[in-house]
Amino acid sequence: MAISFDDVTSINPIAPGRYAAQLDAAWTIGGRPHGGYLLAVLGRAAITAGEHPHVLAVSGHFLHAPVPGPVEVEADVLRAGRGASQVRARLVQDGRGCVEALVTTADLGSAQPYWTGGLAVPDVPGPESCMRVPGRTPLGMAVPIMDHVTVQLDPAVTGFATGRPSGQGQMRGWISLPGDATFDPLSLVYATDALPPATFEVEPTGWVPTMELTAYVRALPEPGPVLVQQHAHLITGQRVDETAYVWDCTGRLVAQGTQLAGIRLG
């Protein structure tokens, strides 16, 4: 029985603006909860504490990697506006701050795009022609999250799996949630960080821990898997940046993200 994304990101109020959550041991990489998953938990606290139903923009800075198990989430509404609100959220484990975030919330509504000329939908084969990412990296690290989320990569970016990375620093593929649940703004935040690191197609490494992750949610997606494209641009000083764009299965751009991460190269 699949554990739903809603289940693993659920929160229980314990005081005004204070929530208890359980970080799931399956949503981990090398034993540490996944960064986009943590940011989705913070996003849930922000929309619960605030006036608006959707995460529009979330920025998380990662202080300390928590372990699976109980955490507390704090959410303080900084400004409750008519069109948008801003919420400060933090994830704490055993009294130690793990992730600090700022969240702008809004109602995404159903507006049709006014201009979409900035980005074409990438040409990726359907999920059935793609390669499912297994629960272990090429260098042997356990990624149990991949046994729950179905990530199917464009064969053109899977050279890393056989020791022949393309050198391009790109990753593209489809993501389906447990039970094929429809994506919402919180799972879209996770989706901006869900593919294997684009740097695997430069040089496979161990864990690439997120230092900062910012995601924008632009529209509510149609049911079905989402298509994600990630690009790395520069590895320097043992850090790498990566951008992510997320389309729903009708080809609509629904989310985008950028992150800075640590990497053991250089």
Q: Please give the residue ranges that form the binding site for a copy of itself (CB under 8 A).
A: 56-57, 59, 61, 63-64, 78-79, 81, 84, 86, 88, 97, 100-104, 108-109, 111-119, 167-169, 202-203, 211-212, 214, 216, 218-219, 231-239, 241, 243, 245, 253, 256, 258, 260, 265-266
* CA–CA distances in Å: residue 225 to residues 171, 219, 246: 16, 15, 10
Give which of 37, 75, 50 is closest to 194, Cα–Cα: 37
Minimum distance from CB of 251 to a copy of itself (Å)? 12
Dihedral angle computed from the Cα positions of residues 123, 125, 131 and 132, in that order, rounded to the nearest 10 degrees = 90
Minimum distance from CB of 179 to a copy of itself (Å)? 29
Minimum distance from CB of 144 to a copy of itself (Å)? 28
The span from the CA of 258 to the CA of 228, in Å, is: 13
Nearer to a copy of itself, 48 or 258 (CB): 258
Nearer to a copy of itself, 161 or 232 (CB): 232
Cα radius of gyration rounded to whole Å, the chain: 18
Nearer to a copy of itself, 68 or 209 (CB): 209
b/e per residue, 41-56, with b = 16+ CB within 10 A?
bbbbbbbebbebebbb
Nearer to a copy of itself, 15 or 111 (CB): 111
The span from the CA of 148 to the CA of 87, in Å, is: 30
Nearer to a copy of itself, 64 or 132 (CB): 64
